[in-house]
Amino acid sequence: MFSTKSTLKVVAAFTVVIALASCSEKEAVANTTQTKTTQAQPAQTQTAQTQTAQTQTAQTQTAQAQSIVLDVYKSPTCGCCKKWISHINENGFESKVHQKNDVSEIKSEKGIEPRYRSCHTAISTDGYVFEGHVPAKFIQQFMKETHADDVIGLAAPGMGMGSPGMEMGDKFMPYQVLLLKNDGSSEVYVAINSSKEQY
């Protein structure tokens, strides 16, 4: 392996390159000075900082490499479903598309009441459902949260004009994304009043 001194030189050079690439000239000079100050610290402190930086970098790379997988059930002829799938794929998801002539069976199996239904149903690997044109932003937010045992997922009932996959020029109708529960009830998860709130 590399010696501690060699590793520290590589980390210091990497830090300077990042500082120069992402900061203004004034900030870059300050970061370079800070890097030089860090190099003057005792060897044990530098080793601990190097190990912490390497661990954080590895964790970041692992998180970026893992996208959320959604199984999407849709009719083979649904064009707006294809657009919504493009929307989620462009926003950090990986979709596995299942073409079905009748998607109502999967909706019933997952406990999605008819009043909450739309044209497609997405299911996460841990069993949460995302019914209809729910913006990717809110699926990501939902997946980061902890939910009560009675929560089954989110729904954007109907086919809201201007929602992801239902774009019609600059036309937009406000709509709600609902938090669905296994007893058939729901509550408003988020009210979307403008197109820009979706992204």
Tokens of 161: 């004009």
60-75, pLDDT tens digit by residue? 433 444 689 999 999 9
Work out the angle at residue 84's Cα, subtended by the Cα atoms of residues 118 and 156, and round it to the nearest 5 degrees: 35
127-142, pLDDT tens digit by residue? 999 999 999 999 999 9
154-188, pLDDT tens digit by residue? 999 999 999 999 999 999 999 999 999 999 999 99
Spell out the domain ranges in the chain: 4-65, 68-198
Give the domain 68-198 fold: Glutaredoxin (3.40.30)
Task: State residue 67's pLDDT score.
Answer: 81
Euclidean distance between CA atoms 73 and 117, whole angstroms: 12
Task: State residue 117's pLDDT score.
Answer: 97
Work out the angle at residue 68's Cα, subtended by the Cα atoms of residues 66 and 72, and round it to the nearest 5 degrees: 140
Cβ–Cβ under 8 Å, residues 189 and 179: yes
- The CB-based long-range contact list for 51-54 (8 Å cut-off, 24+ gap) reads 53/11
- Burial profile 133-165: b = 16 or more Cβ within 10 angstroms, e = fewer: bbbbbbbeebbeeeeeeebbbbbbbbbbebbbb
Tokens 């938090």 map to which residue? 179
Global pTM value: 0.68
Straight-line distance from the first to the last Cα atom of the chain, in angstroms, rounded to the nearest whole number: 45
Count of CA atoms in the C-beta half-sphere (13 A) of 126 = 10
Helix (H) or strand (E) run with residue 129 in it: strand 129-132
